[in-house]
Each structure stands twice: as structure tokens, then as C-alpha cells.
Structure 1
Amino acid sequence: MYVELSDEARRYIGRFDELTGVAPTDCLVEGDRLVFLVPAGEMASAIGQAGETVEEAERRLDLSIELIEDADTPEAFVANALSPAAVNAVTISEQNDRVAYVEVRDADRGVAIGADGSNIETARRLAKRHHDIDDIQLT
């Protein structure tokens, strides 16, 4: 699926690649937070030993950075987007709209939703952009 990036997002992707050696496939600029979509299998390189690489990128960019690992299937993608919440199952309904129903432990609902709904909204935006999922609902 084709994702259109803003010039600002492209600049942050390039800068993150320079700093970490990992080229994200997408970037959401959300106020004082950047959300990078990291290719599958490259999360460890993007984070670095004990988080040193991503912490240095945060310091140099002067923004908070969140990393989400890409996945081949929509179900795995949604689970990764809601991490670190423990996702038990993801079911994609293809009725009128494409909706991902996500089963999370009660203890992890707050983590999946995030402060003021920021985590689930980010997951919704990325799922729409990369897998044409219209909504994500927690069950």
C-alpha cells in the first residue's frame, strides 16, 4: 500500500536513518512525539544496546520517539502497533468496514489506549495507512 509522507516526516525519517542506521518506512509527527514504523526484524538495531541508540536519537532530535515494528499480516501489525500491551488475539471483520477487534488483558487496556487515547489513535492511523483498516476496537 502506498503511503504519502509529508516533507517534515521525510526529513525525520532521513535523520533517524542517519543516527541509527535503520530506515523507517513511515513516520507520524504528533506534536512533541515522533512515531516511526521500523521494518520487521530491525527493531533491535533501532533500539540499540539498552536503548542507547533510540535515546541518542531522541536527544539529537529533541523529541520523544516511539518505535513500532512492521508486520506482514494486518493482525500482527495491529498487535505490534498496540505494544507493549499484551494482545491475546486480533480478528479482522470485513463487513461494511474493515474493523480489527483486539482482545487485550484487562490489566493492559490502559496501556493499549494510552494517555488521552494517544496509543490507540496512533495504531488506528497506522493501520489505516498500511492495511486499510477503518477502526480498531478493544474487546
Structure 2
Amino acid sequence: MAGYGVKLTAEELRYIALFETLTGATAKDCVVDTEDGRLIFVIKQGNLGMAIGKRGANIKKVRSVLGKQVEVVEYADSPIDFIQNVLAPARVRSVHITEKKDGKKIAIVNVDPKDKGLAIGRNGRTIARARLLARRHFGIEDIIIS
């Protein structure tokens, strides 16, 4: 179902089933972020509009039913495209994925200087989400914004 050996808990599977019922979109993954009180859904490519709904109606419905903040990210088969999707709406100029000597993969992301704050997010929430999802789906250990 999800990528890079992602294992879903029973709780995450329940959230995915409810999300899919409420929105009609297909979710590939769900991350329960208890620290920030949010749910992050990774949506099948091409289903983002359906997940959000007209004027955000579907997302609002999911938020009210679950009583949690809900974020959606569109999946991509390429780690570069996926990282761009996770950091949206920040304008990403380039993404370079390199492997360190110890075998760990890192992504160096060049964003428009005006969007650096947007890419990092309030209290680092956006970059934390990007790191978590990149590690979970593509085995990328770290993302560095430049």
C-alpha cells in the first residue's frame, strides 16, 4: 500500500478508511503526529483535488469529524517530486539527493529566498513533516533547505 516498507498501525488504517469514505480520494499513508495534534495523509497521485474538495469542503468535513488538524500531501513516485509536493506551496528551485559516506541519503533543497520561511514552517513544522515523510517513503534521512 505505502512505499519504502511503510507499516501502518491499526489506528492509521482506521483514519485512512474514514478519510477515504469522507473524501472519495485514495490515501496511501497516514501519519498521526501527536506532538502537533495533526494527521498527515499522503494522497494517491491525481487525487489531491478530490481530497480537498470544492472550497476545501472535504478537508473541513474530515477536520470536524476527527477533531484534529488535517494535512494532505500528494504522493509522487520520484523522491524529488515528492519532496516538492511536501514543501508546497513554497517554490522549490531544485532538489539534489546525495548519499553520504556512511550510506545515509540526504536531500538538499534550494527554495526561492522569499519562500524559505514557508518551506520551514512555523516552529519547523513543514520541514519536520518533509523529513518524516521522505524518510518513511524513500529512506532519505535528512532534508536541508538552502
Query: TM-score category by the smaller chain?
Result: over 0.9
* Conserved 8 A contact 1:79-1:87: yes
Q: Which residue number in structure 2 is paired with residue 120 of structure 1? A: 127
Distance in 1 between residues matched to 2:96 and 2:44, nearest whole Å: 23
Q: In structure 2, how many angstroms separate the alpha carbons of the residues matched to 1:72 and 1:30?
A: 23
Aligned identity (percent) is: 40
Instruction: State whether structure 2 residue 42 is matched by structure 1 residue 37.
Output: yes
Of 48, 65, 70, the match for 2:70: 65
Does 1:9 pair with 2:12?
yes
- Does the 8 Å contact 2:26/2:47 carry over to 1? no
TM-score by length of 2: 0.91
What is the root-mean-square deviation in Å for CA atoms of aligned residues?
A: 1.0
Runs of 4+ more than 2 Å apart: none
Q: CA deviation at 1:14?
A: 0.9
Deviation of 1:28 after TM superposition, in Å, equals 1.0
2:53 is matched with which residue: 33, 48, 69? 48
Gaps of 5+ in 1: none
- Name the structure 1 match of 2:117: 110
The residue type equivalent to 1:63 in the other structure is: K
Q: Is the 8 A contact 1:14 1:23 kept in 2?
A: no
CA distance in 1 between partners of 2:107 and 2:59 (Å): 29
Say which SS state the counterpart of residue 32 (structure 2) adopts.
strand
Alignment coverage as a number of residue pairs: 139
Provide the TM-score with structure 1 as the length reference: 0.95
